Structure 1
Amino acid sequence: MNTQVKTDPFAQLVDPSTLVIKRWLPGPVERVWDYLADSDLRRKWLASGDMSQGAGTAFTLTWRNDDLSRPSDPRPENFPAEHSMQSKVVAFDPPRRLVFTWGAGTVTFDLEPKGDKVLLTLTHTGIAERSSKVGISAGWHTHLDILVADVSGDTASSFWSNWAKLKAEYETRIPQ
């Protein structure tokens, strides 16, 4: 029996301010959870930041996307070398669900084991502006591609060039 549902690699707008993106990862689910909750593992694909194991606790996410890029893949102008964002844990239910604030919205990671694979569903709410939808979609797509590669033991694409390529693609996918 094939338990793996086909997923579109692109983020989908499910309403005007919410995007959903899915990825299949090799299990077990506890290992995938660690890549979400542990700062040292999360910085390999997204952002560092110590996260307490409880709803209502504050934490800081810090991005260093240059660390996810090859030296020959320079950062675009107008992007800082480091960026931080204050967040708060909304739900912490290992190894199934993690929800935290992201500006005026939230980011939810749902993990669903299916045989030896794990379906990760990311839902990002509260994205008002079209330019933010484009940039955030390209960002999540790129970061999740790096996560899949890292968890699978593969070499990931360089962050900045992949992000730029995907941003151009999302410019055609996200409605005006």
Structure 2
Amino acid sequence: MTDTELLTDRDRPAVKVERRYDHPIDRVWRAVTEQEHLAQWFPFGADLELRAGGKADFGEGGTGEVLEADPPRFLAFTWGDDKLEFTLAEDGDGTLFTLVHGFDDKPGAASFAAGWELCMGALAEVLADRKPGEAGRGVARHEELASRFGLDRPQVTTTADGWTASFERQLTCPAQAAWDLFFGGPGAAPGPGEEFRAPQATAVLLGVVVECDEPKSFAFAVAADEPGEEVRLRFGEGTGHGARLFLEVAGTDPAELDAAVEQWGDGAIARVAAEAAKLDA
């Protein structure tokens, strides 16, 4: 059994989660395809018509289509725009179950993976004829996977005019909570025209605010002694774990790029993500 992976060698990102169950393959197949069992471990439950072109109904979670069904070894179906694959293989007197979830939202990969791990833990209970308990949100595991998948790193673009480092980080708290963490507390964000100082080191002037719309967006012109020339922050809708943080820092001096990535990625964003995770403790 391999650890949970982020697959990047497909036409779009996917997460792969694998578990071994001490039950025969036919029993596991029933648990991952029959409505009465899916209702106990699969998000929203599911009613799957096990034939190519069959309907996949996830109740309040929407609909999809069965793409392929090969009992008791393989099932592929869509869920909205996403694709799921279930692969079952005999492993001694047990079964190796592999779930692959393909999607377009790469920054949400850790959230999807952590969620499936919780679901597959619940599946173990279903197979043991026990009622799954409260699974929690898997916040610590989310943060571990976000780091291991490299989701805390920026996308960097360079042109003849300069560079831009763009971060998109899934958080584990709502936008207002993340906003307060970023600025060091409720009501701490400065308004347009005011100085913006580092919340953790107020002697450090980061720049002058040009935009502030709590808890949605914030922008400032970077002070002369700091890396970059403009920073723009935005909080938007993310996965079920919480809000999505978008931060873009731009500059013209190539020598400042690494310092800017360290300051905002390894510094501010990492701090907000870590403190957001603690809110769930």
Instruction: Specify the TM-score bucket, using the shorter chain as the normaliser.
Output: 0.7 to 0.9
User: Residues 30 and 55 of structure 1: is their aligned pair in 2 closer, same or farther, counting only changes over 3 Å?
Assistant: same
Following superposition, the deviation at residue 134 of structure 1 comes to: 1.9
For the residues of structure 2 that align with 1:32 and 1:111, how far apart are their CA atoms?
A: 8
Contact 1:20/1:123 (<8 A) preserved: yes
Q: Alpha-carbon deviation of 1:125?
A: 1.5
The AA in structure 2 aligned to 1:104 is D
Secondary structure (helix, strand or coil) at the match of 1:54 reads: coil
Q: Aligned equivalents of 1:127 and 1:109: distance in 2?
A: 19
Quote how far apart the aligned CAs of 1:162 are. Answer: 4.3
Q: Which residue of structure 2 lines up, in the alignment, with residue 98 of structure 1?
A: 75
Greater Cα shift, 109-118 or 83-92: 83-92
Uncovered stretches (5+) of structure 2, i.e. residues with no partner: 152-281
Equivalents in 1 of 2:90, 2:78: separation in Å? 25
Deviation at 1:139, TM superposition (A): 1.0
Find the counterpart in structure 2 of residue 158 from structure 1.
134
Structure 1's consecutive aligned runs of 4 or more residues displaced over 6 angstroms after TM superposition are: none
Q: Confirm or deny: 8 A CA contact 2:14 2:102 kept in the other structure.
A: yes
Instruction: Report the counterpart of residue 148 of structure 1 in structure 2.
Output: 124
User: What's the RMSD between the two structures over aligned residues?
Assistant: 2.0
Of 107, 110, 121, which aligns to 2:87?
110
Q: Which TM-score applies when normalising by structure 2?
A: 0.48
AA aligned opposite 2:5: Q
Aligned partner of 2:45: which letter?
A: S
Residue 2 of structure 2 corresponds to which residue in structure 1?
A: 7
State the 1:41 CA deviation: 0.5
Letter in 2 for 1:135: S
User: How do residues 11-30 of structure 1 correspond to structure 2 at under 5 angstroms?
Assistant: 11-15=4-8, 17-30=13-26
CA distance in 2, matches of 1:155, 1:169: 28
Whose Rg is larger? 2
SS of residue in 2 equivalent to 1:43: helix
Aligned-partner residue type, residue 21 of structure 2: L
Structure with more contact order per residue of length (Cα contacts < 8 Å, sep ≥ 6): 1
Deviation at 1:40, TM superposition (A): 0.7
Aligned twin of 1:175 = 150
Measure, in 2, the Cα distance between the counterparts of 1:163 and 1:61. Answer: 23
In the alignment, the residues of structure 1 paired with residue 26 and residue 101 of structure 2 have an alpha-carbon distance, to the nearest angstrom, of 22
